[in-house]
Amino acid sequence: MAHKHGHGREQIQFANAEDKQEFSKFPTKAGRRSLSRSISQSSTDSYSSAASYTDSSDDETSPRDKAQVNSHGSTDFCVKNIKQAEFGRREIEIAEQDMSALISLRKRAQGEKPLAGAKIVGCTHITAQTAVLIETLVALGAQCRWTACNIYSTQNEVAAALAETGVPVFAWKGESEDDFWWCIDRCVNRDGWQANMILDDGGDLTHWVYKKYPSVFKKVRGIVEESVTGVHRLYQLSKAGKLCVPAMNVNDSVTKQKFDNLYCCRESILDGLKRTTDIMFGGKQVVVCGYGEVGKGCCTALKALGAIVCITEIDPICALQACMDGFRVVKLSEVIRQMDVVITCTGNKNVVSREHLDRMKNGCIVCNMGHSNTEIDVASLRSPELTWERVRSQVDHIIWPDGKRVIVLAEGRLLNLSCSTVPTFVLSITATTQALALIELYNAPEGRYKQDVYLLPKKMDEYVASLHLPNFDAHLTELSDEQAKYMGLNKNGPFKPNYYRY
């Protein structure tokens, strides 16, 4: 493995050093392959997510080959550069300002330490906001080891700050596929440390433990999963009778689904597109694939700026909602020639196929807001007749033989986390939900949860929401005894039946 790794980097340096001038002429297939890889690696850091102060071009050594130590003498981490910890700490402090619910959860539970003895292995986006969650879990008594669920979304300086405080973090921005699995492995496979809780985003960590370390599940009390893709994988395991621990589906809890998926995407879709392409939305023809919560959020924002939006849907209910909101529901193949922007948010694969890409008009922008990078068939674009040109960090122009260009953002990965930031406040809601799910599963009495996938109890959803209301100086009305009796409710909730849709 080490050998393979070294070889990959020699190739990159060779590409950088000698193929520069050849790049403007059309290089050979092999030359271009290694080149596009080298370019994407050296520019992943230059000016994307939030405030990355780092530009990796000044340091091409892989973090795996660097011996680093934090100020406490620990080497149990692997980040881009531990010296950036101070910058990262400031980023985390900024995030804390807008995540008061987690801070109040810390204060409230610091005495009783509901996670004392918990050993949590986590795989999420590593940003200032997740750092606030991780440090909250530590304050509640947990030991954590952490890795990234996306090769582009790590904020290097935040990973450094966490490693500096003693949380073993294995992640950096612009990992290769091989690095990605290596980091997950280093997180799980630690002598003398055995995880008893899993926090996952996308299911890759859970998948790796199943594949490589199934014995870990003997100790694990539960899995908390927050993405559509990961939850889907858990339900598949459950159906096949292979899920051997209880799992909490945070994605479909109300405080995730109706907030993160909807309001977060409503704000971050425009941010990601503007930062990468400076596009003007007024009058643009946009197609949004999927009208779930993410699709609804994206469409609200685009429509408000005067874009002409149409939707593709497989589900008649979501399609009817789109019609009622004033959007045309179409098939992608019918409209693809006219579109200026194509946005996927389905959680499915090959929604935008090579055939669609071939028929797009010159200058069409293609990006993904779904979790997984399978929605756009980017792999099909890495073929000899097409030229890739890295124009900016996370922006590639793919040039067809006739000179047509299609603009692909973040190589088809998650647009908002790869190219811009995500509003901190909405992540506070999701992170608080995750923290409570971990506390619930970790402390649940034997037998409350079987080997199945569960939703967070509604009482806890309501508690998460109530923790965020002080931010808005919002005052809840209380039921009188008579009103409560009339409604058949407990005064303190839950206020809605489980089937209520919000």
Sorted by sequence, the CB contacts under 8 Å of residue 84 that are 6+ apart come out as: 53, 54, 156, 157, 160, 161
* Sequence spans of domains, the chain: 64-252+423-464, 262-419
In this predicted structure, what is the pLDDT of residue 380? Answer: 96
Residues 181-199 as b or e (16 or more Cβ within 10 Å = b): bbbbbbbbeeeeeebbbbb
Both structure tokens of 230: 């990961």
- Local confidence pLDDT in tens for the 502 residues of the chain: 545 454 544 444 444 444 444 434 443 344 433 333 333 333 333 333 444 444 444 457 899 988 999 999 999 999 999 999 999 999 999 999 999 999 999 998 888 999 999 999 999 999 999 999 999 999 999 999 999 998 888 999 999 999 999 999 999 999 999 999 999 999 999 999 999 999 999 999 999 999 999 999 999 999 999 988 899 999 999 999 999 999 999 988 998 888 988 999 999 999 999 999 999 999 999 999 999 999 999 999 999 999 999 999 999 999 999 999 999 999 999 999 999 999 999 989 999 999 999 999 999 999 999 867 889 999 999 999 999 999 999 999 999 999 999 999 999 998 988 888 889 999 999 999 999 999 999 999 989 999 999 998 899 999 999 999 999 999 999 999 999 999 999 999 999 988 888 8
How far is residue 60 from each of residues 41, 55, 63, 167, 418, measured CA to CA in Å?
9, 10, 9, 25, 20
> Does 262-419 carry CATH code 3.40.50.720?
yes
Cβ atoms of residues 131 and 102 within 8 Å: no
How far is residue 267 from each of residues 257, 299, 422, 498, measured CA to CA in Å?
15, 11, 8, 29
Q: Is the four-CA dihedral 40, 42, 47, 52 of positive or negative sign?
A: positive
Report the C-alpha gap between 433 and 253 in whole angstroms.
8
Tokens 């945070």 locate to: 250
Closest CA to 432 of 282, 253, 182: 253
Query: Coil, helix or strand for 281?
Result: coil
In this predicted structure, what is the pLDDT of residue 166? Answer: 96
Residue 191 backbone class (left: φ over 0; alpha: ψ -120 to 50; beta: rest): beta
CATH class of 64-252+423-464: alpha beta
Residues at the binding site are 127, 201, 226, 256, 260, 292-297, 313, 416
Cβ atoms of residues 242 and 448 within 8 Å: no
In this predicted structure, what is the pLDDT of residue 421? Answer: 82
Residues at the binding site for substrate are 127, 201, 226, 256, 260
Of all helices (H) and strands (E), which one includes residue 248? Answer: strand 247-249
In this predicted structure, what is the pLDDT of residue 420? Answer: 85
Cβ atoms of residues 183 and 148 within 8 Å: yes
Report the C-alpha gap between 222 and 437 in whole angstroms.
10
Cis peptide leading into residue 445 (ω within 30°) = no
Closest CA to 452 of 223, 249, 238: 238
Residues at the binding site for NAD(+) are 292-297, 313, 416
262-419 matches 64-252+423-464 in CATH topology: yes
